[in-house]
């Protein structure tokens, strides 16, 4: 497929979803927020973050001369640094604000998502990390297309990358706009443009080096801030989780009683935060969500790209071990923070709830639990700090996404598909910079287009596509000798199409976003991952086995060499020797 056509299709598909969402009056929107008073503390702290990170970008710019510097920081990041950067990529605003908000509302249920987001990491470590490092250079398409026909496979992988990046990006941009209204008291549109412009400066001038350091700084600030909050909460209870939980149950019971429930019902409602509730209803949805979260991690292009920034397989393994540690630690903190918010915010409705009314919910919406808790335990200055960090989080994640989208266009589509690899480093670098600007503009436009939409499903959709299109192709091409180009491309496409179509037909989009009546969704489960992942693997398997072409024979014959390189790293040295 022509690379321009592929890119266009991805862009048009996303624009269409946006258009239809708007055209069909997208139902009640839980993501909308009220603008708050301008918060100068938060704004100045955020400004300080931006000034420091732009300083780093200037330093990084001097070291970003070749495409290798731009895409992978010249392979010169250590395992520990990369682990923090991966954790930074992963600890998005959705996981910090979303999970603590979920714990604040439902207690235990928040933990289910945290665990799902974590368990993909060990599997990625055990099966893929080292092989990715040994086979790849800049993008995961390098690995997946190692022994295959470059044009079809890279076109597919670039499409998979751009679609995942786009959905993830929309969620981040809309989140940024909503957050800035509450945190800084500024207009939505400022946030979207601000994120677009600053992020473009990081990526454009500092490439992967700047993006990595922005992630590292943000990860340290976020981990530090969250640790402080969790410690302050535990301090209130003499570091006894049992005492914290007991108080939370008591507060929730009081809350239920105040809304007119009988004593027995209120006690039941209070105790419910200690047990799994309505979040996971049927076993198929439970397994499906689990699979999307677990295998999606191993198919996120901006995460996979980080494996090429370290010099050796040893460092690649170390980086995932550190990333897993930080992410796991962070999720335990968000759980404590969510409970801390229950015991600190609900007894003070006047300060934290809309019109002081518990029934109307938190000021700024349910995702603001962690932000209000910052004020409760650390006062206005700490509130400013956490607000600035939350916004910086979005900025850093968007920069990582843009870099990975830019590399898919310039390295996979332009250099490999369009120019068949006959392109010098300077030209490829120029193309990736032009793409960065284009993606920055597209990100801002998508942010504006989706302002009024409920984008809550988009992160999950990004994970489902990553798990159903990118992961099966990557996994089979690296580990199964009979896999062929045709099998991989057809199977991956089946996974991609199924995950998008069935997600649109699921209750979360069909009813909650598109505003169709309840019960009218054609596909009854929360996510199609269990079906789309299976379909992708089975299709790759059957199509590859049926593939009797001469090209397929040649590809199978190349497997032993690929396997030897992926297991030993011999021949991979040149990939990192810049």
Partner 1 sequence: MSVEAWGQIRSNPKFQTFVKKRNRYSIIMSVLVIFAYFGFILLIAFDKAFLAQQIVPGGVTSLGIPLGVGVILFTIVLTWIYVRRANTEFDAEAEAILEESTK
Binding site for partner 1 (CB under 8 A): 108, 111-112, 114-116, 118-119, 121-123, 125-127, 130, 241-242, 245-246, 249, 271, 274-276, 280, 282-283, 286-287, 290, 294, 314, 317-318, 320-321, 324-325, 328-329, 331-332, 335, 560-561, 563-565, 567-568, 570-571
- Least distance between partner 1 and beta carbon 42 (Å): 31
Closest to partner 1 by CB, 148 or 391? 148
Long-range contacts of 352-360 (CB under 8 A, 24+ apart): 352/376, 358/255, 358/258, 358/259, 359/259
Smallest distance from partner 1 to CB 143, Å: 16
Q: Minimum Å distance from CB 573 to partner 1?
A: 9
Angle between helices 188-236 and 241-258 (to 10 degrees): 120
Q: How far apart are CA 357 and CA 349, in angstroms?
A: 6
Tell which residue, 98, 387, 439, has the closest CA to residue 447. 439
CB nearer to partner 1: give 119 or 448: 119
Nearest distance in Å: CB 233, partner 1: 15
What is the C-alpha to C-alpha distance for residues 97 and 78, in angstroms, rounded to an integer? Answer: 29
Closer CB to partner 1, 34 or 564, in the complex: 564
Measure the CA–CA gap between 463 and 455, rounded to whole angstroms.
14
Report which secondary-structure segment, H or E, holds 401: helix 369-407
Decide: 241 and 266 in contact? Cβ < 8 Å: no
Rounded Cα distance between 212 and 297, Å, is: 18
CB of 102 to partner 1, least distance (A): 13
Q: Is 372:341 a contact under the CB 8 Å cutoff?
A: yes
Question: In the complex, what is the shortest distance from the CB of residue 181 to partner 1, in angstroms, rounded to a whole number?
Answer: 33
Pick 384 or 528: Cβ nearer partner 1: 528
Residue closer to partner 1, measured from CB, 260 or 283: 283
Least separation in angstroms between residue 268's CB and partner 1 is: 11
- Shortest reach from residue 313's CB to partner 1, in Å: 8
b or e along 533-553 (b: 16 or more beta carbons within 10 Å of the residue's beta carbon)? bebbbebbbebbeebeeeebe
Closest to 425 measured CA to CA, from 417, 414, 438: 414
Between 114 and 404, whose beta carbon lies closer to partner 1?
114
Decide if 158 contacts 305 (C-beta within 8 A): no
How far apart are the C-alpha atoms of 148 and 563, rounded to whole Å? Answer: 14
Kindly write down the DSSP assignment for every residue of 438-454, as one continuous string. Answer: HHHHHHHHHHHHTTTS-
Q: C-beta of 563: minimal distance to partner 1 in Å?
A: 8
Within 82-190, strands assigned E span none
Taking the complex as a whole, the smallest distance from the CB of residue 176 to partner 1 amounts, in Å, to 28
Nearer to partner 1, 58 or 268 (CB): 268
Of 127 and 423, which has the nearer Cβ to partner 1? 127
Residues 6+ apart with CB under 8 A from 530: 284, 287, 288, 291
Closest of 403, 445, 436, 455 to residue 174, by C-alpha: 455
* Closer of 5 and 123 to partner 1 (Cβ): 123
| Comparison of 64 and 125: residue with beta carbon closer to partner 1 | 125
Q: For residues 435 and 158, is the Cβ–Cβ distance under 8 A?
A: no
- Residue 121 to residues 74, 293, 300, 558, Cα–Cα distance (Å): 24, 10, 12, 29
What is the rounded CA–CA span in Å between residue 188 and residue 200? Answer: 19
Closest by alpha carbon to 322, among 125, 482, 164?
Answer: 125
Centre a 10 Å sphere on the Cβ of residue 260 and count the other Cβ atoms it contains: 8
Q: How far apart are CA 286 and CA 530, in angstroms?
A: 10
User: What's the min distance (Å) between Cβ of 67 and partner 1?
Assistant: 22
Tokens 């269990």 identify what position? 530
User: What's the closest the beta carbon of residue 322 comes to partner 1, in angstroms?
Assistant: 9
Q: Which helix (H) or strand (E) holds 457?
A: helix 456-465
268/420 with CB nearer partner 1: 268
Residue 545 Cβ, how far from partner 1 at the closest point, in Å? 22
Instruction: Specify the residue, 269 or 280, whose C-beta has the smaller distance to partner 1.
Output: 280
Residue (156 or 330) nearer to partner 1, CB: 330
């Amino acid at each position: 497929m022509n690379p321009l056509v592929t890119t266009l299709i991805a862009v048009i598909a996303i624009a269409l979803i946006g258009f239809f969402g708007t055209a069909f009056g997208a139902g009640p929107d839980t993501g909308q927020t009220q603008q708050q008073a301008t918060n100068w503390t938060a704004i100045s702290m955020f400004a300080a973050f931006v000034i420091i990170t732009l300083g780093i970008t200037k330093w990084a710019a001097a070291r970003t001369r070749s495409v290798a510097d731009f895409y992978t920081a010249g392979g010169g990041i250590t395992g520990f640094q990369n682990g923090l950067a991966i954790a930074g990529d992963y600890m998005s605003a959705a996981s910090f604000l979303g999970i603590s908000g979920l714990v604040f509302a439902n207690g235990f249920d928040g933990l289910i998502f945290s665990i799902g987001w974590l368990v993909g990491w060990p599997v990625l470590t055990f099966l893929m990390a080292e092989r990715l490092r040994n086979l790849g250079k800049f993008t995961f398409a390098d690995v997946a297309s190692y022994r295959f026909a470059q044009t079809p496979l890279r076109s597919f992988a670039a499409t998979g990358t751009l679609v995942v990046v786009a959905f993830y990006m929309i969620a981040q941009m809309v989140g940024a706009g909503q957050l800035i209204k509450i945190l800084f008291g500024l207009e939505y549109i400022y946030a979207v443009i601000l994120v677009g412009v600053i992020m473009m400066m990081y990526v454009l001038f500092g490439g992967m080096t700047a993006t990595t350091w922005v992630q590292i700084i943000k990860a340290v600030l976020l981990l530090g801030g969250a640790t402080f909050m969790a410690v302050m909460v535990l301090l209130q209870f003499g570091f006894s989780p049992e005492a914290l939980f007991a108080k939370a149950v008591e507060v929730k019971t009081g809350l239920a009683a105040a809304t007119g429930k009988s004593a027995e019902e209120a006690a039941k409602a209070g105790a419910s935060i200690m047990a799994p509730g309505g979040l996971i209803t049927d076993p198929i949805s439970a397994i499906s969500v689990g699979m999307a979260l677990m295998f999606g991690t191993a198919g996120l292009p901006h995460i996979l790209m980080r494996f090429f920034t370290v010099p050796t397989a040893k460092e690649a393994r170390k980086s995932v071990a550190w990333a897993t540690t930080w992410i796991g630690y962070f999720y335990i903190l968000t759980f404590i923070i969510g409970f801390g918010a229950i015991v600190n915010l609900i007894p003070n409705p006047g300060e934290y709830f809309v019109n002081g009314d518990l029934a109307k919910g938190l000021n700024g919406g349910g995702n603001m639990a962690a932000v209000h808790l910052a004020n409760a335990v650390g006062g206005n200055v700490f509130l400013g700090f956490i607000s600035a960090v939350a916004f910086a989080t979005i900025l850093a994640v968007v920069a990582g996404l843009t870099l990975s989208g830019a590399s898919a266009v310039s390295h996979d589509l332009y250099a490999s598909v369009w120019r068949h690899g006959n392109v010098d480093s300077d030209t490829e670098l120029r193309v990736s910079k032009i793409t960065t600007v284009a993606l920055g503009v597209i990100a801002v436009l998508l942010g504006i287009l989706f302002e009024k939409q409920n984008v809550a499903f988009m992160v999950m959709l990004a994970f489902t596509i990553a798990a159903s299109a990118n992961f099966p192709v990557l996994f089979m091409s690296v580990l199964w000798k009979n896999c062929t180009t045709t099998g991989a491309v057809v199977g991956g496409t089946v996974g991609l199409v199924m995950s998008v179509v069935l997600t649109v037909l699921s209750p979360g989009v069909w009813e909650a976003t598109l505003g169709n009546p309840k019960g009218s969704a054609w596909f009854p489960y929360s996510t199609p991952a269990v079906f789309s992942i299976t379909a992708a693997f089975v299709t790759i398997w059957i199509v590859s086995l049926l593939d009797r072409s001469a090209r397929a024979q040649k590809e199978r014959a190349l497997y032993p060499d690929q396997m030897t390189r992926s297991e030993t790293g011999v021949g991979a040295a040149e990939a990192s020797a810049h």
